[in-house]
Structure 1
Amino acid sequence: MTQQFASTSALVTGGGSGTGRASALALAAEGSLVTVVGRTAATLKETVRLIEASGGSARYVVADITDESQVEKAVQAAVADTGRLDLALNNAGYDGEFQLTKDYSSEMLDQMIALNVRGVFLSMKHELRHMTAQGSGAIVNMSSGAGLIGVPGYSGYAATKTAEIAMTKSSALEAAPHGIRINAVCPGLVDTPMIATLDADQRKSLDAAHPLGRIARAEEIADAVVWLCSDKASFVTGIALPVDGGYTVP
């Protein structure tokens, strides 16, 4: 079977778990050499192990994406073997916890801005430098349905995810003349180990909030990432794609 990303190089931030890990696995399954980036070596090593066990190729880089020098080194590591950076998923982020705006922790908001805004901005900045020089590339930013609608108790998170969409659109317009596409994915709730700790009534309530009657699997979000990176989305740029089972439908 032909692998659509054969001989390409991909970078995935926040690649140690959840949608980041699922996307790294999906990109590697399509033939890309994947560099996974994050702050925890153990989870990154496990992602690499899973990719290699499936016949793919990967490496990991421990980095804090809020530190520009570390972002630059991570991107350089991703281009080390091929001299190229073809695909990038900026997935690393922080969603915090439920707090009403009147009680919102300034420290939590600062952390969200650092990861969800500064981190994504710095990642795109250094990814685009390589992609512009080579005249091609595809970037996907992991936003959220919270960037499209209001979510009580998550005003800070929603603000940063809306900012990601704005950065996506603005950067897409800048990058288009250079053969680079930039898009965002906006998931609803995704089945994660945290969700598994909820009781049956809580889980039922979350499922019911989505018109399709359930929350997403991480692999379903990864499928959207792969599509946006692929030639099948060759005329798609600057969009914020909901992958949320209808959660954000007005």
Structure 2
Amino acid sequence: MLLNYKQTGSGPAVVIIHGLFGSLENLNVIAKALSEHYTVINVDLRNHGASFHNAQVSYPAMAQDVIHLLDELNISKAHIVGHSMGGKVAMQVAMLDETRVDKLVVLDITPVDYHPRHNSIIKALQSVQEQSVNSRGEADLIMKEFIDEIGVRQFLLKSLSKFENGYAWKFNLNTIVENYSKIISNINETHSCQCDTLFIKGNNSDYILPEHREAIVSLFPNSKAKVIHGAGHWLHAEKPQAVNRSIIDFLQ
């Protein structure tokens, strides 16, 4: 099956991959800036957005979906940009077949195992799913019990849609929760990837730490780092101009 995607712009191809509980809409701010110079393919990963639901959740499977889409679009090689979980998918694409990757941009994630950090978010999402909600406002009130940050709630609510039977999450929540341990685990390491890679860190985020340097350098020896000051994990939403400039400067 083919991933849902939105294609804009013209020029060399760039694939943009969102993070956990997101959709292609979340990275529109990057897609819009890049589409002035590139053909941008902004995707919904499996079990997210308008893409298909599938019980198999792994980084090789999600990366293969991206490669399959490139095949269908007759794109032999592309720049790959991914945020958070999407950054791991991007890295996994390079591990599966680095001949398909021109340059790699990884936003605020590293090739390591992470401890669980979405417990309150998962509880909030499940609470909304278990109750019949008639509006995003109702869902927001439910989630407020578990999530203080309004920005996080607003991000999640973008994936709440109205269906025939009321409002429901577009992402495949049950399958994601069942496979959460795989999502926070590392990519499938096979070799050192020689492609030019840029890791962009939000200065206030703890997703990229000094102790991750060894893992990054061993798997992506041709990598460099950029720090976006005044931003956390959602760096593209908090400092879009700085992030977009960093990406474009690197790709060009």
Band the TM-score falls in, shorter-chain normalisation: 0.3 to 0.5
Q: If the length of structure 2 is used for normalisation, what is the TM-score?
A: 0.41
Q: If the length of structure 1 is used for normalisation, what is the TM-score?
A: 0.42
Higher share of residues assigned helix: 1
